[in-house]
Amino acid sequence: MGRLAGKRAIVTGAASGIGRASARIFAREGASVVAVDRAEDGLAETIAMISDAGGTAMAVSADVGDEDAVAGFINTCVESYGGLDVIYANAGVSGGRVPVAEQTVDMWQDILRVNLIGPFLCIKHSAPIMAAAGKGSIVCTASVAALRANAGGPPYAASKAGVVSLVQTMCNEFFASGVRINAICPGLIETGMTKPTFDRARSRGTEGKIGQLNPTRRNGVPEEIANMALFLASDEASYVNGQSIAVDGGLTSTHPFVPKG
Ligand SMILES: NC(=O)c1ccc[n+]([C@@H]2O[C@H](COP(=O)([O-])OP(=O)(O)OC[C@H]3O[C@@H](n4cnc5c(N)ncnc54)[C@H](O)[C@@H]3O)[C@@H](O)[C@H]2O)c1
């Protein structure tokens, strides 16, 4: 039996990268999945991959920073699948690296809206449904950028630090409800978001340096984050609550150092 057999799950950012891998793995493990993204073509590809593998999934095109849209896709899951057990609030934007003097309030608001308000809205509209059922798991994607500098620009890092705080405070808002709320802090993962970094390194012939600062000495792949999301979504994580777990090859375990060889 699958590790999510019988569960009804929503995954946001499911058109690409970590979200796509998670939607596929959740479906493989028996969940009925609502795959959410604003990129409709990528979303259709994800649904086709899941269907071809014999899984159950439906697509909802939505902006995770829009409250009505979030309430809408949560309602779609409840109406279509008869309930909601898991939501993975994963959609995010990086905003790139912009010098501080050129950062605008609009830019900060755009990044915070998707990366922090998005998970807030997912929690706001899903946790009461889960609490009424006495069980549920909410997973958010934060980042190693939440924990230390130099893994993203200031608005991105601040948005992700906000997610770390959000899962701590929200799991206490839903104290004794049966709802668990956790986050994952990925390190460098090859996805749509990081494609420019990988493309640049490959064009310069420096791809061997990717991931050189973590003790696993490589970048991660989306499935390695999806596997943590699967664990946190499943009943195997029944005593894990309010945590932000780094899945980063050990990057955040180290002080700065000069890599050997
Ligand atoms: N790739 C990494 O190295 C890395 C590291 C740490 C954290 N993360 C986080 O992982 C999450 C997934 O990113 P990824 O790396 O898979 O990138 P990705 O670009 O491949 O996927 C992100 C998806 O989110 C969707 N999205 C963006 N804004 C949206 C919105 N407003 N509404 C709906 N969908 C929206 C995009 O269309 C895209 O499909 C993000 O939260 C990102 O910040 C990524």
Q: Digits of tens for pLDDT over the chain (261 positions)?
A: 899 999 999 999 999 999 999 999 999 999 999 999 999 999 999 999 999 999 999 999 999 999 999 999 999 999 999 999 999 999 999 999 999 999 999 999 999 999 999 999 999 999 999 999 999 999 999 999 999 999 999 999 999 999 999 999 999 999 999 999 999 999 999 999 999 999 999 999 999 999 999 999 999 999 999 999 999 999 999 999 999 999 999 999 999 888 776
Which residues, including other chains, have CB under 8 Å from residue 134's CB and lie 6 or more apart? 177, 178
CATH number at residue 163: 3.40.50.720
Q: Mind listing the pLDDT tens digit for each residue in 6-31?
A: 999 999 999 999 999 999 999 999 99
Q: Is residue 94 part of a domain?
A: yes
246 phi/psi in degrees, rounded to 5: -75, 130
Q: Does the beta carbon of 64 lie inside 6 Å of ligand 1? A: yes
Q: 0.85 exceeded by the pTM? A: yes
| pLDDT confidence of residue 261 | 62
Q: Is residue 205 part of a domain?
A: no
Q: Is residue 40 part of a domain?
A: yes
Which residues, including other chains, have CB under 8 Å from residue 259's CB and lie 6 or more apart? 212, 213
Using an 8 Å Cβ cutoff, are 46 and 24 in contact? yes
Q: Which residues pair with 182 in a beta bridge?
A: 139
Q: How much of the chain, in percent, has pLDDT values that exceed 90?
A: 97
| pLDDT confidence of residue 122 | 99
Q: Mind listing the pLDDT tens digit for each residue in 73-107?
A: 999 999 999 999 999 999 999 999 999 999 999 99
List the structure tokens of 129.
């449904």
**Shortest-distance Cα residue to atom 31 of ligand 1:** 63
In the reported structure, the alpha carbon of residue 131 is separated from the centroid of ligand 1 by a whole-number distance in angstroms of 27
Q: Is residue 259 part of a domain?
A: no
In the reported structure, the alpha carbon of residue 77 is separated from the centroid of ligand 1 by a whole-number distance in angstroms of 21
Judged by DSSP in three states, 35 sits in strand
Query: Domain of 101?
Result: 8-191+219-246
Cite the active site residues.
156
Among left, alpha and beta (phi > 0; psi -120 to 50; other), residue 60 is: beta
Which residues, including other chains, have CB under 8 Å from residue 57's CB and lie 6 or more apart? 23, 27, 32, 33, 34, 35, 46, 47, 50, 51
Q: Is residue 172 part of a domain?
A: yes
Position in ligand 1 atom list of the atom nearest CA 19 = 16
In the reported structure, the alpha carbon of residue 261 is separated from the centroid of ligand 1 by a whole-number distance in angstroms of 33
How far is residue 34's CA from residue 81's CA, in Å, rounded to a whole number?
Answer: 9
Query: Which of 16, 47, 117, 194 best tests ligand 1's pocket when mutated (most atoms within 8 Å of CB)?
Result: 16
Query: What domain count does the chain have?
Result: 1
